[in-house]
Structure 1
Amino acid sequence: MFGVRLLLRAAWRGAFVAASFYLIAKVMAGRGGTSPLPLEQAFAQASFERLGEVAVHGALAAMLLICLLRPIPAGPCRAISGGLVMGAAAVVVFHQSTLFVLHQTAGLVPVRGFLFAPMHVLAEMPILAGMPSLYALMLLGGALGGLLALLLRLALVLPDLLVGWLVGALGFTWLQRWFITVPGFDAEWWQWVVINGGWGWGAVFLMRPLALRGGEDLHREFEEPQHAMEGAGRK
């Protein structure tokens, strides 16, 4: 019964998030996905049929994610979940913000960040057709963030910020170059290495307060006296 409730709750949240993102993309569809439209015009262009499809896909994706994470032990599962969220958030907070600053202040990149233009490479995939570039990058950032958080939890000796920068500079750049080509971005490869490395550093920085590397056990002795007694006995 608990599993059914968990799936239903995940489905509702997934549908709500997906539908909200769809409406936001419609509002930001002005000038090729670079500026907002008036709300009346944006909602007039929205398709309720497509909105329903997006909500269903969001619900199914959320339930699938729950089913995949359910068998994983609590610690690694928590790391992956936190990494997914913070990896996607780092795309907005660090990756796209850096692009925006570099474009607006120095003109180093041809197009500013936060593009809502559809991804052309996803046009042949019915589920992902019409997905804005920003959302595609957030999905990629979330997936890499989950793997990065799990890696850092399993290998505690690794310096987290440095590893995050390397994963972003190498992994994110390679995946972005071959699988998610953002329209309009023709910057030099070294600029993408710096920008994507900033994403990796920022993702790990956002993960630190969540203690995804096992820090949730640091103060367990204060909450569970038995744990402290067992530790003293081993000493």
Structure 2
Amino acid sequence: MNIFITMRQFRKFTIIFAGLLCISVMFAGCFSRKQKSTIAIDEKMLQEAIEYGKSKAGLSYFEFVEPWSVYLGYEVGKGRATIITPFLQAAQLAKNAEEKRLKPDINIIRKVVSEKYDTLNFSVITYGDEPDSSRRIRAYLIYDNKRIEPVYAHFPPYGEFNRDYYQQINGEVRFPRKDIPENAIVKLCIEFLPKEQETEQFSHKDNKESEIVVGRKSPDHIVTEFVFDLSKYK
């Protein structure tokens, strides 16, 4: 009888132990993935980015991001795209702090940078010829002849009136970093769909270089490509 009770208790203990072991392994895996995803930039480069940002205090935004930007001109459908690398983001935060006469908080900078490390991040300034041109914008990425859709894209419902009667459209797009090597050449495409094909308020898509001249009526459909060699950007 005692042997029977002991064996039954042993089996019960074994089942409970196995369950706890599975749960432990699962949580360990989740923790490991979380740890890995937060390693956005090593400490040496983080310090370098902070010093770089502090040294550039006083520069305009466009002057500051110019080394990370591709500019295709001031025309409908064209404009500027900037790749927001972890280095640039950290440097920008340090620059902002320096301009406010504050000491950059390395812990806050590290946390902010790590939040977007698993994506390729771009800011976009492009131009339309109508107030609601941004409603027809889509963005996508081309790598290795494959089209990659964004995990996040935001363009405002209306542009901002600019010179030459253009509407300036400021947007942000992010793409999954997975399977894109650090030395890849990618094309950020910004597309203006034909007028009858309006998109959602916050949309995405691509662009190709067009033959538009300032002052002329632009075609309905425009695709502009901003080419980035990732190996050239910190």
- Whether TM-score is above 0.5 comes out as no
Which structure has the larger Rg over C-alpha atoms? 2
TM range (shorter): under 0.3
Structure number with higher strand proportion? 2
Structure number with higher helix proportion? 1
